[in-house]
Structure 1
């Protein structure tokens, strides 16, 4: 009897730490982190702000598109939808890769992930970095923000279509990077462009309201879609299920070394990614089951680097990566 109870306890413990699957259910009231570094109590059944959503849907120009290049690495140039002069008079170079960074809930252009990822790219190579500031919607309630993500994503897609038409920049030179709600945003941008973008990287894509949501980021949204999951699990803030061609579950995909809060675990996704752009050193081993991911027993025949800036990256499957506690991890 004692052995049976021990086995039951172990099974429950392992199950609670497994990456999320489609059976995950969030409670009505949940604490979700914002870009301010705080947890906010959210009612997932509250009514969204219909007036704001209508405005966002009608006018994608509500969003700011801020260009950084090696000629202006710290001082942004504002690119404006349907304003040809704003593009042609800027430092945008259609002959180098373009990286778009999309923040999450309660965040803006000044949130930590933007300068960290921007600097990682510009310190390494000559690229266009466009920071998407969608604070007009992102500072609203979580349910409203999540409801408006598809419209903002479509607006981003239309903006990139405009940039491509004006400059000749190829969709094959574009990489969209989104964090949390921003992951689903860039997925919708890629969908707007028929999946023709070179790459999408989803950094711990948001879980609440997205488990069964057909508008969530998926493998159809770009030629190559990668997910990096750092806070999945039964009570995690991110989706723990695979969403792309290749999905990575650092340290099991639920909690991260050196972290003691869900906010830290969640943010590790963009911290890992920025480090991988610089060093390309986080190598994943293929896993055949969620249990292998959790128990660190992945022995697949394939290995694949997590993250990095490779526009032509290809891979498929689920991978575990083991990291250190602090940068460069």
Structure 2
């Protein structure tokens, strides 16, 4: 998640607890991702130590203890000196009996960024087995060296079971790199792809992210296609936010990802999924999850009824002609 010029707004919003929306108790969140374990649903989002919520019905959410204690993980403080415990854009997956929680930490207005990963065998905080084990650094971007940004991670497996991590924001677009089978480090030899980008008017030496506003990739495999969801334009501005989600698809995980008109997302393409409507000024940074009752789309939207506060949005997906439509 980007907070360039608006980081204090985002932090203050994250300090708020629960908001009442349309009769349901919904958390105020940024960059949500959801998963099901048994009969419970768990929601992770940007926050101090990573915010965590639980629910039995996807409508009423209980705030759980944060994943990390204050000012943790300690290793990140050495690479990101400004880090005080606020962690961005988590991604949760279950593989081979373990939950893998990827997360991002970044300096203000720079691609001084890192992606880390922690694991747990259960999401039930009452279980004696509940314990997050942090595995540290997975990926790092350095200003002046890298033309990409190590934030907004998302783990995806291809049709052969090979793991990949897609990530990134602004700069030279969204990237994907093959992961080691351990899921804690990049595979060697390294394999990299650019999966989405927008035209930009700045160079690698620029500190600020510039005008190529695309971030938050999320890849979902369905009916023989890999669907790449991305967020265009700007978050974190409350009523002035312009976030919206676009999608493309590919038969191959490497791409190219094409929109409904056949334009590549590496060239700025994308079919609109969600954005501004009567309720929200903008909506973005999504995840897609397969639950016991179908596929669901989750994101946050800036609420017109609450001064632009970011609220959780959950919608069921209907696949029309192999394209996602939100109910």
Same fold flag (TM > 0.5): no
Higher helix share: 1
TM-score where L is the length of structure 2:
0.30
Q: Which has the higher contact order (CA 8 A, sep 6+)?
A: 1
Q: Which of structures 1 and 2 has the bigger CA Rg?
A: 1
